[in-house]
Copies of this chain bind each other. A is one copy, B any other.
């Protein structure tokens, strides 16, 4: 009896196969017919795939059933804290530290006492051309949930 392959091991195999086969995350997402950020996050271990999605990805990448089994399992979510200081990710952390309290004020002003859900939630990634240098545009779109007793 083997335990189920750890999702970080599966993610490393997905990344290796993706690169060696010359496939982009966008191409995989398109093949699956799934949103880009969702697909990337799922393959990195943050969302469970359906068995069908997992099989499709593994066929595309030439990975075996143990990887597919791992991809379809329920994850324990959250990144390794060491990754939070990678400069590309840290800029998001910094933005939350600088703008988080302002966003809290505006959510309460506009919606009342509650939160933006991080569960009924989607993230969009886009490139916006700009003559002064192209821009990364990330959209967080979450349902407002009011504190309701």
Contact = CB atoms under 8 A, between A and B. Distances in A.
A98 to B, nearest CB: 5
Interface in A16-53: 16-17, 19, 24-26, 35-38, 40-41, 44, 46-48
B128 A24 contact: no
Copies of this chain assembled into the complex: 10
Nearest to A89: B100
How large, as a class, is the contact surface on chain A? 35 or more
Interface in A77-129: 77-79, 82-111, 113-123, 125, 127-128
Nearest to A4: B16
A118 B102 contact: no
Nearest to A35: B149
Interface in A52-72: 62-64
A100 B37 CA distance: 10
